[in-house]
Amino acid sequence: MKKCALFFLVLTSSFLFSQNKRQIPLELWVLPNENNLDINAHKIASQSWNFEVKVLEGVFAKMLGDSLEPHNEALWKQLEADGISNAKEKYQTDVEKEKKPLAQAINISLSEKYVTDIYSKIKSQKRRERTEIQKVTNQEYRFMIYSYSEKTLKEKEKLETRFIVNIKDQTIRIFK
């Protein structure tokens, strides 16, 4: 029994110590804004970088707002220490490259009555919306429109619809 307990203790402690060696993932902090294009361009561009984009919402934005620039500067310095020269400038170039096709996809989606009706329905129910956009290919973007209530914190986001926009042939495939 003692051998079993000792084995379990050694196994558990080695697992815990190995967890402490994991690096915290690098994050670029951005503040929310009404321009969904900027946030989604950051998220798409960061997929080819060694960090994640974290949008600081509500209380976190107020608490960490003063820390945003120093935090992000530390990220750029870390990337440069890892051998990526001019990391910030290169990343900003990547973000700018994503904006034009992303804007095109957004405009195509907003030309579809079904999509604008979803946004109108969310607004009429006095709910908030969150649109997540993912780049599938160089020509296709997946849209997921969620709604949520700011008043009810217990309520989860509701997926209202999802669809794919093809910017090459300017079509939309809606998944109902």
The pLDDT tens digits of the residues spanning 66-96 come to: 788 899 999 999 999 999 999 999 999 999 9
The pLDDT tens digits of the residues spanning 122-149 come to: 999 999 998 999 999 999 999 999 999 8
**Using DSSP, how many helices (H) and how many strands (E) does the chain show?**
6, 6
Is the pTM higher than 0.95? The answer reads no
3-state SS class at 84 = coil
Whether 115 and 172 have beta carbons less than 8 Å apart is answered as: yes
